[in-house]
Amino acid sequence: MAVAKKKPGRKKAVVASAPAVVKKAKKGVKKVVKKGRRGRPPAAVSINKEQEKIVMTEMDFGGKKEKIVVRKNFTIAKARRILKKETIAIIGYGVQGPAQALNLRDNGFTNVIIGQSKKYKKDWERAIDDGWVPGKTLFDVEEAAKRGTVIKLLVSDAAQRAIWPTVKKHLTKGKALYFSHGFSIVYKNQTSVIPPKDVDVVMVAPKGSGRSVRLNFLAGVGINSSYAIFQDATGTAAQRCLAIGIGIGSGYLFPTTFEKEVYSDLTGERGVLMGAVAGIMEAQYDVLRKNGHSPSEAFNETVEEFTQSLIRLVDENGMDWMYSNCSATAQRGALDWKPKFKKATMPVFKELYNSVKSGKETRRVLTVCGAANYKEMLDKELSTMGNSEMWRAGAAVRSLRPKEKAREITKTTKGVKGRRKN
């Protein structure tokens, strides 16, 4: 949609030096050459001088300058060069696994393999349907961990604890252990996930579900990711980490720590991103229904207008842009009631953050999600939600959306620019 955009923050290129690697191999190349544990050769890690420095962009985020990594300065060609001698093993083909594996493959990384337990038949068959070949690019978890030099642990947090002994024994010197969430490392006292000291431990955490990571990649827009280096054993952890981040299609990458990522992520999921928005929607829908409004009207005023209209305006140009392009009555009411909702929810968010930071939330995840009957319990909970009147009404509303061919929007199309000021 053609709309006027706010001016982005100023960008400035900054060069960050990556740590040196162990020993020179040949002119222009540095390489790890010592033998790995138990006499095995270490993973091959070679980085040209060209790649020893990572160019970061300085940008203003709301008045605070941050250094980020953008595709212009860390190209996909550079990422492929850095990882050309690596075997990237994706452990788990559930939520993030398929998206990250397929994006890497579509971006020209030919050295990607999948590690998936046959016990989970649907995930194994899904991997085959996506073109991964048993015995060639699709293996059980242990074989993939053995073959991989970059091991991407993308099973659920509870499952990471369960398979850790299997993965750990194949983390030989010079390999890289990759996460998309800081959970297992930060709460090591609960998970027992403690990596060997002679491997790189890195994280790239896409800010979206696996399906969104894939769809945004196919749409050419990508999803932003945070990244962190927990352990740099080879001196090349940053290059390997960022190469993977670019390879999976990140829009841009911003630095964090494993701890900050897991605190913000668990708070966001339980809060605004999922828990809070679902709870608030249910509360408003119930109030409207109890006051005589029809299911269709209650759903449209609670969910449909939010997802199909207003949140799209926020996405285009921010919250003030959305307010500017709504009626004066809507603007006034929203501005008056926003502080009340903030005051009402602030204590809940403080309680939530403290619950995350204390480890209470992770203990519940490991206990509940690790139970043998968890899948059946989850299916029951989601079925209760999906079969509620509110979401059955939603299914009816979605079925009535027109499915006409989209009209082309050009620079001369009238009525799509929106209004900057009232």
pLDDT recorded at residue 35? 45
pLDDT classification of 136: cutoffs 50, 70, 90: very high
The residue with tokens 């009147």 is: 389
Q: Classify residue 374: in a domain, yes or no.
A: yes
Neighbours of 315 (CB within 10 A): 11
Residue 30 confidence (pLDDT) above 60: no
9-18, 138-147, 196-205: the lowest-pLDDT one: 9-18
CA distance linking residue 140 with residue 124, whole number of Å: 9
Based on the fold, state whether residues 60 and 188 are members of the same structural domain. Answer: yes
Residue-wise pLDDT for 346-392, tens only, equals: 999 999 999 999 999 999 999 998 888 998 999 999 999 999 999 99
Based on the fold, state whether residues 293 and 194 are members of the same structural domain. Answer: no
The DSSP string of 133-159 is -BTTTEE-HHHHHHH-SEEEE-S-HHH
Residue 22 confidence (pLDDT) above 70: no
Neighbours of 32 (CB within 10 A): 23
Residue 422 confidence (pLDDT) above 90: no
Based on the fold, state whether residues 242 and 293 are members of the same structural domain. Answer: no
Residue-wise pLDDT for 40-69, tens only, equals: 445 555 655 454 578 999 999 999 999 999
pLDDT recorded at residue 47? 58
Based on the fold, state whether residues 244 and 382 are members of the same structural domain. Answer: no
DSSP 295: H
pLDDT recorded at residue 293? 97
pLDDT classification of 3: cutoffs 50, 70, 90: very low
pLDDT classification of 14: cutoffs 50, 70, 90: low
Based on the fold, state whether residues 199 and 282 are members of the same structural domain. Answer: no
Based on the fold, state whether residues 183 and 51 are members of the same structural domain. Answer: yes
Is 181 a known active-site residue?
A: yes
Query: Edge to edge, what strands does the sheet with 23-26 contain?
Result: 23-26, 29-31, 46-48
> What are the C-alpha distances in Å from 57 to residues 11, 70, 238, 366, 391?
6, 7, 16, 38, 44
At 53, which CATH number? 3.40.50.720
The residue with tokens 């009402």 is: 344
Q: Classify residue 51: in a domain, yes or no.
A: yes
Q: Classify residue 410: in a domain, yes or no.
A: no
Based on the fold, state whether residues 233 and 300 are members of the same structural domain. Answer: no
Q: Classify residue 408: in a domain, yes or no.
A: no
Domain termination residue (choose one: 254, 281, 299): 254
pLDDT recorded at residue 43? 54
Based on the fold, state whether residues 243 and 276 are members of the same structural domain. Answer: no
Q: Classify residue 322: in a domain, yes or no.
A: yes
Query: Of the residues 30, 173, 181, 214, which is catalytic?
Result: 181
Do 213 and 181 form a contact (C-beta atoms < 8 A)? Answer: no
Q: Classify residue 405: in a domain, yes or no.
A: no
- For residue 39, give its domain range: 11-254
Mean pLDDT of the chain: 88
Based on the fold, state whether residues 185 and 39 are members of the same structural domain. Answer: yes
Instruction: Please tell me whether the overall predicted TM-score, pTM, comes out greater than 0.85 for this model.
Output: no
Q: What share of the chain is helix, strand, coil (3-state, %, to 5)?
A: 50, 20, 35
Taking the chain, what is the end-to-end CA distance rounded to the nearest angstrom? Answer: 21
Based on the fold, state whether residues 227 and 354 are members of the same structural domain. Answer: no
Based on the fold, state whether residues 217 and 303 are members of the same structural domain. Answer: no
Based on the fold, state whether residues 300 and 228 are members of the same structural domain. Answer: no
Question: How many domains does the chain contain in total?
Answer: 2
CA distance linking residue 242 with residue 203, whole number of Å: 9
Q: What percent of the chain has pLDDT above 70?
A: 87
Residue 97 confidence (pLDDT) above 50: yes
Q: Classify residue 414: in a domain, yes or no.
A: no
Q: Classify residue 417: in a domain, yes or no.
A: no
